[in-house]
Structures are given as C-alpha cells and as structure tokens.
Amino acid sequence: QKEVEQNSGPLSVPEGAIASLNCTYSDRVSQSFFWYRQYSGKSPELIMSIYSNGDKEDGRFTAQLNKASQYVSLLIRDSQPSDSATYLCAVNAGAGKSTFGDGTTLTVKP
Amino acid sequence: DAGVIQSPRHEVTEMGQEVTLRCKPISGHNSLFWYRQTMMRGLELLIYFNNNVPIDDSGMPEDRFSAKMPNASFSTLKIQPSEPRDSAVYFCASSLLATDTQYFGPGTRLTVL
C-alpha cells in the first residue's frame, strides 16, 4: 500500500461544475496536509494547507480533512478551464519530509 | 522576493558524463529538498537538508547520486556517471521548516542520451 494514494484519474468535469479530488494516507500520526497544483511543464505550487479536522475554505477551493478516516479532499467549486492541471496531495508525518501522492489530472471542459 | 532558483533549466548529456544541478533556496528557509519527477514514478524525494545538514537520503537511487549543501544559499545534486534512466525533471524546493509548505523551483529537465 502506498503511503499516499489519490484518485487514479483522469478526472473530467464541465465548466462551472464541482471537481472533487480525494486522497488517503496510511500514517496515522500525519499532522500536515497540502494540496499542490502542477500545470503541464511547470513546478508544483501550493493551493491549500490544512492541519486540523474539518473544512478550510479559500475562494473556490475547500480542503476537507478527516484524520479518523485518514482522508483529505479538495473541492473546486465553479470549475474553470484554467483549473485544468494535475493536483498533488502531500502528507507530512512530522518527521520532516512530506510524502506526495501520484497526482490526479483534472480537465475542465468549456 | 526571488523564488527558488535552479540551473541549468535544461541539460542534455551523454551517458557516462557527470551532471551537476544547482539550487539556490529562498533566503531564510532552513530546509531544502531535491525531487525527481517522471511519468512512471511520479514525484520522488531524493534527499533533504535541515540547516545545511543532510537528514534523509534514503531516496537517493544509487551511489552515482550525491548531494551537498555547503551553505544556506546553495546546494548541488551530482550524478556521476549519468545513465539514460536518469532522464527526468529534477526539482529543488525549500521551506521555512521541514514540515511547512514547500516552494518549488522551476526544475531542471535532464536528458541523458
């Protein structure tokens, strides 16, 4: 079992819809959770970080964390073609390094 | 503020040659990470440093790979000798603390012929 697993994708949604990206992790002591966005040919950039159970909202993005279920998700409301990218989930167990999932590629169709 | 700086942006070399990738982290950041990204294996952590000291190099694939951080503003990743399977995009990232958000450089696209 991988330490961090994401929807295999690719995920395709119409413009204006809600895109839901999911991530599960295996280390129960994980403390910090991150969502990065990576456009094709570019480097990953942070979208959201979340540290405690519940929801965290930033504009059209909402991160949801459930430590009991070892699950973190990212919702993108009113999806735009510019949201088309690969989304990477990263989990940090406090030992220093973050472990990244393989990513989910999202395509938003106009 | 300048972000993480990497050089070169592209490197094409022949098998057996030595390759050196360079990284300048964001000023004030205490942690530096080297990653390799391929379609097959995704984003892999090779090594990371805290305060210029290597903490975890378990991701370094072989003895052909070595990394140094002689000071807080500079790090190198060296591959000697290079092989075609080393072809990938190599990212450097830095963060204030190892558990914090990481800021990635633009990457070095390495092609070994």
Question: Does residue A54 contact residue A64 with C-beta atoms inside 8 Å?
Answer: yes
Of B98, B101, B104, the CB nearest to A96: B98
> pLDDT-derived band of residue A96, with 50, 70 and 90 as boundaries?
low
Task: Tell me the pLDDT tens digit for each residue of B39-96.
Answer: 888 899 999 999 999 998 989 988 999 999 999 999 999 999 999 999 999 999 999 8
Extended beta strands in chain B, E state:
5-7, 10-13, 19-24, 31-38, 42-50, 53-56, 65-71, 74-79, 88-95, 103-104, 108-112
- The mean pLDDT of A67-75, rounded to a whole number, is 95
Q: Which residues of A touch B (CB under 8 A)?
A: 31-32, 34, 42-46, 49, 88, 90, 92, 94, 96-103
Mean pLDDT score of chain A, rounded to an integer? 92
Whether residue B100 has pLDDT greater than 90 = no
pLDDT for position A29: 83
pLDDT for position B50: 92
pLDDT for position B11: 97
Q: Determine, for residues B102 and A103 on separate chains, whether the beta-carbon distance falls below 8 Å.
A: no
> pLDDT-derived band of residue B97, with 50, 70 and 90 as boundaries?
confident
The residue with tokens 């119409």 is: A14
pLDDT for position A95: 63
Q: Is B66 exposed, middle or buried (0-12, 13-18, 19+ CB in 10 A)?
A: middle
Least confident range of A29-33, A76-80, A104-108, B6-10:
A29-33
Disruptive mutation site among B53, B104, B108, B109 for chain A (greatest number of A CBs within 10 Å): B104
Whether residue B13 has pLDDT greater than 80 = yes
Q: Is B27 exposed, middle or buried (0-12, 13-18, 19+ CB in 10 A)?
A: exposed
Q: How far is B83 from chain A (nearest CA, A)?
A: 22
Task: Tell me the pLDDT tens digit for each residue of A15-65.
Answer: 999 999 999 999 888 889 999 999 999 999 999 999 999 999 999 999 999
Least confident range of A24-33, A80-89, B24-33, B48-57:
A24-33
pLDDT for position B70: 96
Produce one character per residue of A5-18: b if its CB has 16 or more CB atoms within 10 Å, e if not: ebbeeebebeeeee
pLDDT for position A1: 66
pLDDT for position B94: 94
Chain A residues in contact with B31 by the CB 8 A cut-off are: 96
Q: How far is B87 from chain A (nearest CA, A)?
A: 15
Phi, psi of A87 (to 5 degrees): -110, 125
Nearest CA in chain B to A43: B106
Q: How far is B23 from chain A (nearest CA, A)?
A: 14
Whether residue A97 has pLDDT greater than 80 = no
- The mean pLDDT of A71-88, rounded to a whole number, is 97
pLDDT for position B77: 98
